């Protein structure tokens, strides 16, 4: 009986990280914009019939935050799928736009490239 309990405990410990995986589906970046830091969090939703993945983006500075939703079309058999998203930072009181290249791979999403517009200033 002790052996069974030990094996069960090891099995439960081994699957615990897999059960916590949804929290790992988000990535976080901070970019300097207009003299302040803007934190950007991007999170992947569950695939919609295997064709698209909803992406929720949260933009936050010291004073406020807002959410933006977009999607990435998943390419069958591809190691990664990408989408471009332009987000105005006006809700943060900034007269800029972030031009983001989002990449989806292995059930997570991250920012691959970021440009600050106007001026096409590379941030990442």
Residues 1-12 pLDDT 10s: 555 444 334 444
**H or E element in which residue 99 lies:** strand 97-105
Lowest mean pLDDT among 48-52, 56-60, 96-100, 120-124: 48-52
Residue position matching structure tokens 């791979």 = 105
- Its pTM stands at 0.77
Give the mean model confidence (pLDDT) for residues 98-120: 94
CB of 56 closer than 8 Å to CB of 67: yes
Dihedral sign of CA atoms 42, 50, 70, 122 in order: positive
User: What pLDDT was estimated at residue 30?
Assistant: 97
User: What is the rounded CA–CA span in Å between residue 124 and residue 122?
Assistant: 6
- Between 83 and 20, the more confident residue is 83
Q: What percentage of the chain carries pLDDT values higher than 70?
A: 80
Helices (H) and strands (E) in the chain, counts: 1, 8
User: What is the rounded CA–CA span in Å between residue 101 and residue 98?
Assistant: 10
CB of 47 closer than 8 Å to CB of 106: no
- 99's tokens: 């031009």
CB of 71 closer than 8 Å to CB of 51: no
- Mean pLDDT estimate for the chain: 84
User: What pLDDT was estimated at residue 51?
Assistant: 87
Confidence of residue 109 (pLDDT cuts 50, 70, 90): very high
User: What pLDDT was estimated at residue 86?
Assistant: 97
> Quick one: which of 45, 110, 53, 118 has its CA closest to 86?
118
Each domain of the chain, given as residue ranges in start order, spans: 24-122
- 51's tokens: 């064709």
| 11-61 per-position pLDDT tens digit | 444 444 444 444 448 999 999 999 999 999 999 987 777 689 999 999 999
């Amino acid at each position: 009986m002790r052996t069974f309990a030990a094996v069960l405990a090891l099995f439960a410990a081994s699957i615990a990280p897999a059960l916590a995986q949804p929290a790992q589906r988000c990535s976080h970046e901070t970019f300097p914009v207009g003299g302040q830091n803007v934190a950007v969090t991007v999170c992947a939703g569950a695939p919609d019939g295997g064709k698209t993945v909803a992406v929720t983006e949260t933009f936050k500075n010291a004073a406020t935050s807002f959410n933006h939703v977009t999607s990435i079309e998943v390419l069958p058999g591809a190691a990664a799928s990408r989408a471009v998203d332009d987000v105005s930072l006006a809700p943060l009181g900034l007269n800029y736009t972030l031009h983001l290249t989002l990449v989806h791979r292995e059930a997570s999403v991250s920012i691959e490239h970021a440009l600050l517009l106007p001026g096409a200033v590379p941030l990442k």
